[in-house]
Amino acid sequence: MSTHPEARSVRGTAVVTGASSGIGAAYARRLAAGGHGLVLVARRAERLRALAEELTGRHGVPVETVVADLGDARDLDRVARRTAGDDVELLVNNAGINGYGAFAETDAALLEKVLAVNVVALTRLARAAVPGMLARGRGAVVNVASTLAFAGSLPPDPLPSRAVYGGTKGYVVTFSRTLAAELEGAPVRVQVLCPGLTATEFHLTQGKDSVAGDAPRVHDDGGMPADDVVTASLWALETGEVVCVPGLVDGEAVDRIVAAELGLRSSATGTLAPRYQGPARH
């Protein structure tokens, strides 16, 4: 742990995964500026060390760094234990990898890692954090998904080949919305953040290995600044918006998804729909 010699009184601790660049680093900077102590989790030790020194020097908040690969079960165990700590009042599940590529051609081990990081680790860390937050009467969980969670039937080009990645982000959306409904009225908030293309280094690698180098980079496609994404998320967290889509002008679009879901759920009856009652065609 690194601390500033004149550290001020701080707010509760925020755990931020995938904190070494991009959206995660933007969260770290904004939360430190707001007085939160931090636990920063990522694979790149030097990037984490530099960010921790920057934040303690600028804001006087305590910052812990945890070098971990959340696709590794032992590393995930370590991070989960820390996330269950009594001081944690915010979890930002930002870590994720893409594994982009044609499903039949992409290495199966990479796709398994996408599932491990984007689904298993996110769920495990939320499970580690939420019981303590409920017991203490305060807390919040932000799970970072993607607008690609809503792009299932859209073909690749210009969108990436993304069957597994999109599936994992669809899980994050459904998990977060359902958990938020389960916790309605409780003192713990849940948000799912769904950014579109963001100006980070996310697209520079499939995720098996980290982007090399100590200096942050941005992929050629650009996108929304990471700080703007975090601005939307923190605003939505304050206002209780469960599904935050930073670039979405028509906020009622989310309500229309809910209405469509209710329509589909109305079919949960014991009666076969008429269109399936005709003779089968082979």
Q: pLDDT tens-digit profile of 89-108?
A: 999 999 999 999 999 999 99
What mean pLDDT do residues 156-170 have?
A: 95
β 88-93/11-17 pair status: parallel
Say which residue, 186 or 269, is predicted with more confidence.
186
Q: Which of 27, 165, 171, 276 is flagged as catalytic?
A: 165
27 catalytic residue (yes or no): no
For 138, half-sphere exposure in the C-beta direction (CA atoms, 13 angstrom radius) is 9
Residue 4's pLDDT is: 36
In contact, 39 and 16? CB cutoff 8 Å = yes
Residue 217's pLDDT is: 58
pLDDT digits over 43-60, tens only? 999 999 999 999 999 999
Concatenated DSSP letters of 38-91: EEEEES-HHHHHHHHHHHHHHH---EEEEE--TTSHHHHHHHHHHHT-TTEEEE
- Residues 14, 20, 24, 30: what is their CA dihedral angle, to the nearest 10 degrees? 60
pLDDT band, very low/low/confident/very high, at 222 (cuts 50, 70, 90): confident
For the chain, the domains span 11-276
β 11-17/36-42 pair status: parallel
* pLDDT value at 159 more than 90: yes
Under CATH, which number does the domain 11-276 receive? 3.40.50.720
Residue 156's pLDDT is: 94
In contact, 98 and 23? CB cutoff 8 Å = no
* pLDDT value at 7 more than 50: no
Average pLDDT, the chain: 91
The pTM of the full predicted model, rounded to 2 decimals, is: 0.90
